[in-house]
Structure 1
Amino acid sequence: MIDRVSTPGIDVPDFRGRTGLDQMGRDLTGNPDVVVKDVELLAAAWHVLRRTTLERRRSNGEWVTEQRETYDRGNGATLLPYDVERRTVLLSRQFRYPVYVNGHPDGLLLEAAAGLLDDDAPEVAIRREAEEELGITLGEVQHVFDVFMSPGSVTERLHFYAAPYSPADRTSAGGGLEDEGEDIEVVELPFDEALAMIDDSRITDAKTIMLLQWAALRGPFRS
């Protein structure tokens, strides 16, 4: 008799208590020209890598079989705090290995504060991240837009927010959660300097560029 082998993340819980990670996408019915045939779990450490086999009807009517790998890290939220009176914005700087290994000089990326939702509503999550990373307690926040950041391979949808702040809203030093390995520098910049940093590549993070340009074109610093 051959014993059945259990696979963490599929039929027994992985270290995060998850099962059924090979089921994502099998029940999709929104597009009649796409039929999911199989989903393989390739990796399930903190986030999840899947390989999906699907049949897709092309625009000429031909059906083709394709495989796509998707990286599922959950959805997230990001925030641009701004001070109109002092004409400043609040950003963060932290080490990002993926950019370091792909040509960034030191991997210390200047960016808008952000974090995963972790089953919270987007606004709840971004208030949490503002306190943990930036040390500010937010009042009213504005939802700006939602964006798929890397739709060719990453499933994440990022929820963008902006909110006013003042020095009185700085209720802690920020810096992130030490027990989660976060080591974040809080960076306050004049808004005009932040825009200039896009032009000379000192700011190269997509979500940050999008929020700064929104602030200039349609947000609190529009002409």
Structure 2
Amino acid sequence: MHESEIFVPACRPRIRVVEERLLSDDWFVLKKTTFDFQRRDGSWQRQSRETYDRGNGAVLLLFNAERGTVVLTRQFRFPAYVNGCADGMLVEACAGLLEGEAPQDAIRREVAEETGFEVRAPRKVFEAYMSPGSVTEKLHFFVAEYDERDRRGQGGGDPGEGEDIEVVELPLDEAMRQVADGRIQDGKTIMLLQHAALVGLRQLSAT
């Protein structure tokens, strides 16, 4: 693309895109964009950023208020391994990409694939950009109550996609201890666990 200004809607008057280059379109899309940004003093500054676009996603915390437990997963994450996680295994809330589905439908699918549980009533609690300095993804955060009657399969994920997922059931108090001592280090999971701890599982169940 030749260097030229590209029309930007009026809702973003402080940004004028100058050039956009595709760097990679292998697994997901990596672009480098040059743009002019209007600073608070009214002056314009030329900047350049790389953005990784993998689509938006959803994450859900399964909980049982009566037993005080949550269901999480444990799986290998290569980027975590590269960045110092000794075995690359992370404990996480169930999550996945939307892939064109509504968030509540996508998370039902992911929970069934990863944990074997059928989600009865996912309830959205908030949305968040997880790494806005470079990744475009926005996550939709859900909670849902479960009991053993909701278990329809063994879970484990899709072996064709390299998934080998262990289902982990923990008391919420123990999960919070694992956050504190570093055994749980996944950001989205920490956010949902802290939300559950602040609100309380019985209150989550009642809302």
TM-score of the pair, normalised by structure 1: 0.86
CA distance in 2, matches of 1:208, 1:180: 22
Change (3 A) 1:154 1:87: same
CA distance in 1, matches of 2:66, 2:86: 34
Partner of 1:41: 22
Structure 1 residue 28 displacement after superposition: 3.8
Secondary structure of the residue aligned to 2:190 is helix
CA distance in 1, matches of 2:52, 2:106: 21
- Give CA deviations for 1:157-200 in whole Å, capped at 9, x if unaligned: 00000000001111100000112221111111111100110110
* Aligned 8 A contact 1:215 1:221 in 2: no
Secondary structure of the residue aligned to 2:201 is coil
Partner of 2:96: 115
Mapping of 1:74-153 within 5 angstroms? 74-153=55-134
- Give CA deviations for 1:115-161 in whole Å, capped at 9, x if unaligned: 00000000000000010001000111110101000000000000000
TM-score of the pair, normalised by structure 2: 0.92
- Any stretches of 5+ residues in structure 1 without a counterpart? 1-9, 11-25
- Counting matched residue pairs gives 199
Match status 1:183 vs 2:167: no
* Aligned 8 A contact 1:216 1:222 in 2: no
Q: Please, what is the CA RMSD of the aligned residues? A: 1.5
* Aligned 8 A contact 2:68 2:201 in 1: no
* Aligned 8 A contact 2:57 2:97 in 1: yes
What is the aligned counterpart of 2:142 among 134, 157, 161? 161
Change (3 A) 1:169 1:71: same
User: After the TM superposition, which segments of 4 or more aligned residues of structure 1 sit over 3 Å from their partners?
Assistant: none
Change (3 A) 1:64 1:210: same
Structure 1 residue 61 displacement after superposition: 1.5
Mapping of 1:44-59 within 5 angstroms? 44-59=25-40
CA distance in 1, matches of 2:162, 2:89: 15
